[in-house]
Amino acid sequence: MDTEKKTLDVCLTPALIENFNTDDTLIVIIDIVRASSTICTAFYYGADEVLPVADKSKALSYKQQGYLIAGERNGEKLQGFDFGNSPFEFMTTDLEGKKLAITTTNGTQNIEKVSQHLGMNSEIVIGAFVNYKVLLNYLRGSGKNILLVCSGWKGNVSIEDTLFAGKLIDDLNRFNQYTFPTDSANHALLIYEQAKDDIFGFIMDQSMRFKDKISLLGNDIRYCLKEDATNAIPVLTDGKFVNRQEGKGN
């Protein structure tokens, strides 16, 4: 039986991804507000696949191929797209069995960048509060090193992605299966320790880009912080996400 501990680390922004060895690694893409939460929600409401696209023009072209398309830049829905990036837009039976192409300000850019840095025997999954329990179980059962990649905001660190990584680290570390190769895991854990008693309040107080947007994004953020609202495990396969968890759950 292999009892060697695996590594558990955090890439605080995709701009740093080249500093990490991703061989034999399960990579968790984190974009809490909102792409990660939205992708999980789309699967929960029946989407067949989700294709992440970095370029908005390319994403728009998928409409001619029978895809529903979702697009957002700087929090605003893109013209000509079926959806923006609010998870509430995807709570519809219209998604049943459909293919969805999505492009966002940070999350889909992160996915493309990380996809270019995959090591041998590596895998990419989507992580969010809304799929927390099934994600945690999936990570523990993988037998791989784990790298949590925060999408951040336009190349910089973001509060919400970092504290989510810290929460995962806090829970995974209890099983004594992992070592921390860098200080990033401790950094994320410290942020989560500060935030855990009132995560929504902490984000609204500490995030520079959300301070004045509670009237616009408050409901989205509250939903994105709701644990186990879905049972989706989006796994990247041949450039698109498929759901390893079937059905809508209970």
Give the distance, in angstroms, between the CA of residue 156 and the centroid of all CA atoms in the same chain: 16
Strand order in the sheet with 178-179: 76-77, 68-73, 99-103, 49-52, 240-243, 234-237, 123-127, 25-30, 145-150, 6-11, 178-179
State which fold the 6-33+106-241 domain adopts.
Answer: putative 2-phosphosulfolactate phosphatase (3.90.1560)
pLDDT at 212: 75
Does residue 2 have a pLDDT over 60?
no
**pLDDT for 3-62, tens place per residue?**
689 999 999 999 999 999 999 999 999 999 999 999 999 999 999 999 999 999 999 999
Greater confidence (211 vs 240) lies with: 240
Residue 247 confidence class, pLDDT cut points 50, 70, 90: very low
pLDDT at 250: 34
Residue entry with tokens 């370029």: 55
The domain spans of the chain are 6-33+106-241
The mean per-residue pLDDT over the stretch 182-204 comes to 97
3-state secondary structure of 130: helix
The mean per-residue pLDDT over the stretch 105-117 comes to 93
3-state secondary structure of 3: coil
> Would the pTM of this model clear 0.75, i.e. be above it?
yes
